[in-house]
Amino acid sequence: MMILVTGGSGSGKSAFAEQKLCELSTGRRVYIATMIPSDGESRQKIDAHINRRAGKEFVTIEKYSGIGGLVPAENDIISELNEKINEGILHPEDSVLLEDLSNLTANEMFVYGGQGNIIDDIKKTSAYVRNLVVVTNEIFSEAAVYEGETAEYMRLLGKINRELSEKADEVYEVVYGIPVCLKRADR
């Protein structure tokens, strides 16, 4: 199952996404952290997320680009998987929280110099693991007009969000801490 969770900054989307994943999880709970700890503010955000996950038995994998690389190649055998399970690869029984798509997209564009294969990587991950919850940001409501690289980043993130919302089983927008279901497979 794939769930997409969106919302503005400070909306409560991360807490909601963690709650959804905890409700779904049957195997390992894996948190894929995409924020590069580049300054004091980012470190504070990372610490806040770590503290909120405390006691929820998450395994954290820091992966700033190329998340498809967390899915083992088809020719890996089960014994190899068992040896590597705690070495930063995913397992088919995992329930995974990807936090977040906005950082991953920015990393791909501005740090790693391309657009990567974000959509393909997420589809590959979703097809491999039991559950995938993807957190993204709603950045498109601002009245400001952006140009250049920022405008391109916003176009790419919008495209990725649209494609993933089509593929997702469920889509939620969290507004002021209230999750609003936009799509559910059983509706």
- Hey, what's the torsion of the CAs at 72, 22, 130, 83, to 10 degrees? 30
Q: Which of 185, 146, 152, 187 is nearest to 166 (CA)?
A: 185
CA atoms within 13 Å, Cβ hemisphere of 97: 28
- Record the pTM: 0.87
pLDDT tens for 73-94 read: 765 555 455 555 545 789 999 9
What CATH number has the domain bearing residue 51?
3.40.50.300
Average of per-residue pLDDT values in the chain = 86
Which pLDDT score, from 0 to 100, does residue 129 have? Answer: 95
Tell me the two tokens of residue 83.
């040896």
CA–CA separation, 89 and 58 (whole Å)? 14
Residues 153 and 105 sit within 8 Å (Cβ to Cβ): yes
Q: Which of 111, 152, 153, 113 is nearest to 136 (CA)?
A: 153
Which pLDDT score, from 0 to 100, does residue 80 have? Answer: 55
Domain count for the chain, please give it.
Answer: 1
pLDDT tens for 104-147 read: 999 999 988 776 789 999 999 999 999 999 999 988 776 667 78
Arithmetic mean of pLDDT, 58-84: 75
| Torsions phi, psi for 168 (to 5 deg) | -70, 145
Range of the domain at 50: 2-184
Among 64-73, 106-115, 147-156, name the one with the lowest average pLDDT.
Answer: 106-115
Beta strand pairing status for 170-175 and 178-184? antiparallel
Which pLDDT score, from 0 to 100, does residue 81 have? Answer: 53
Beta strand pairing status for 178-184 and 29-33? unpaired
Q: What share of the chain is helix, strand, coil (3-state, %, to 5)?
A: 40, 20, 35
For the chain, percent of residues with pLDDT exceeding 70: 88
Outline where 68-147 has alpha helix (H): 78-84, 101-106, 118-128
Beta strand pairing status for 95-99 and 131-135? parallel
CA–CA separation, 12 and 142 (whole Å)? 19
Q: Which of 33-47, 109-123, 171-185 has the highest mean pLDDT?
A: 171-185
